[in-house]
Copies of this chain bind each other. A is one copy, B any other.
Amino acid sequence: MKPQREVFHLPSYTTTSGRALKDVRVGYETYGTLNAARDNAILICHYFTGNAHAAGRYEDSDPLPGWWDGIIGPGKALDTDRYFVICTDVLCCIRMFDGHAVTTGPSTINPETGKPYGLDFPIPSISDFVHVQKALLDHLGIERLVAVAGPSSGSMQAIQWAVEYPHMVPRVLAGLKAHPYSRCIVECWAAPIQVDAAWKNGAYDPKEQPMTGLIETIRLTFVTAVSHAFVAKAYGDAWADPQRDPLASLDNEYRAHASIGTIASVGAVQCDANHFLYMVRACNAYDVTARIGEAKAKFLFLPAESDILFLPFMSEEAVAQIRAAGGRAELVTLKGSGGHLDGLNVIAQARQPIVDFLNSN
């Protein structure tokens, strides 16, 4: 399956913080066909370091498909023979340099100055992500969705959707609830970027990223998104180079740390450092607690049992809060030992519960 990639252009957009931005652009991908009644759309919201490439391959030779390809496609849980699946790059999308994503954020040229916004760009809220997605759906003539779904911080957007546009969202597929501790870890992710002198207090040239800090930030992010079992099984106690004892020099590494560093190095060249910092704040400010009763949707939470970043008990609390507010919520736990990333990697496990959920009223 080949994604359709487009760019959505908003001549102006005013953030929830009150800043009017001109020429806001975000990319989006679609899978399947919008029907004549325009009532078969499912909106997918991408995760923290993800972008709109949720499924399919641009070219047959792509080594990996999009990140939720396990459930998006012909005959899959989100069956593209039946549904029109749409996913947007969000504002301040971190993974903006993968050659496909399009976003607007600190590294965008400010049309008024001809230079990158830098830290003058307003920090978006999860609501801002949702408002831009809503403008796109308006543009496409979609007045009601089948569901909104997303893993990790995509969950935050999906739940925010149900609260802000209750009559458009009958169903939400989510993975998590925010927690003060998870927020604290997410703030810590950002530290290496800000410690790196090349960050220049946010005023770096986007072509000259604070790469040392950015790599360490992404390494730490990855470590907290996997699990004890994953690291033990994938890397064990080994040294990166059997000839180079980590006790002999700080330059000699353990295989686990080095290999995850390689993953981070490959990822970092696709990412923007300021966008990372902005995404940290957008996600950490997410809080629908007071408004959850406004949602009309029914919710299906899909926490991963070995997630150590957003633990299953947090989703259980979300289910309890929604029920206490008079809403409907169910929970299916993803089995596996891979940690937070199981929300991407083993999601196809939940095929039947997802199909049943989409078919239910």
Residues of A within 8 A of B (CB): 17, 119, 123, 125, 179-185, 187-188, 191-192, 194-197, 202, 212-213, 216, 219-220, 223, 227-228, 230-232, 235-237, 245-250, 253-254, 256-257, 260, 277, 281-282, 284-285, 287, 308, 311
In the complex, chain B residues whose CB is within 8 Å of the CB of A213: 195
B123 and A281 within 8 A (CB)? no
Residues of B within 8 A of A180 (CB): 228, 231-232, 235-237, 254, 256
In the assembled complex, the Cα of A228 lies from the Cα of B248 at a distance in Å of 36
Q: Are B216's CB and A191's CB within 8 A? A: yes
Q: How many copies does the complex hold?
A: 2
- Residue in A180, A227, A245, A250 whose Cβ sees the most chain B Cβ within 10 Å: A180
Q: Which residues of B contact A260 (CB under 8 A)?
A: 184
Q: Contacts A179-B228, A247-B17; is A187 near B257 (CB within 8 Å)?
A: yes
Contact B188–A250 (Cβ < 8 Å)? no
With contact pairs A246-B281, A257-B184 given, residues A195 and B212 touching in the complex (Cβ less than 8 Å): yes
Inter-subunit contact A184/B246 (CB<8 Å): no
A231 to chain B: closest residue by CB: B181
Which of the residues B202, B223, B285, B308 comes within 8 Å of A250, measured between beta carbons? Answer: B202
Q: How far is the CB of A200 from chain B (nearest CB, A)?
A: 12
Question: A254–B185 Cα gap in the complex (Å)?
Answer: 12
Q: A123 touching B192 by the CB < 8 A rule?
A: no
How far does the Cβ of A222 sit from chain B's closest Cβ, in whole Å? 10
Residues of chain B within 8 A (CB-CB) of A196 are: 195
**A123 and B277 within 8 A (CB):** no
Q: Could you tell me the distance between the alpha carbons of A52 and B213 in the complex, rounded to whole angstroms? A: 34
In the bound complex, how far is the Cα of B227 from the Cα of A311, in angstroms?
Answer: 12
What residues on B are CB-neighbors of A183 within 8 Å?
237, 254, 256-257
**A314 nearest CB across to chain B (Å):** 9
The answer on a CB contact under 8 Å between B231 and A216 is no
Q: In the bound complex, what is the Cα–Cα distance between A256 and B228 (angstroms)?
A: 25
Pairs A–B under 8 Å by Cβ, sample size 10: A119-B250, A123-B247, A179-B232, A180-B236, A183-B254, A184-B256, A188-B223, A191-B192, A195-B216, A247-B285
CA distance A179 to B235 in the complex (A): 11
Q: How far is the CB of A294 from chain B (nearest CB, A)?
A: 19
Q: B17, B212, B219, B236: which contacts A248 (Cβ < 8 A)? A: B17
Q: Which residues of the partner chain B approach A185 to less than 8 Å between Cβ atoms?
A: 223
Q: Is the CB of A254 within 8 A of B223?
A: no
Neighbouring B residues of A287 by C-beta, 8 Å: 237
Residues in chain B near residue A256, CB distance under 8 A: 180-181, 183-184, 187
Q: Which of B227, B254, B282 contacts A187 (CB 8 A)?
A: B254
Interface pair B219/A191, CB less than 8 Å apart: yes
A285 contacts B246, C-beta separation under 8 Å:
yes
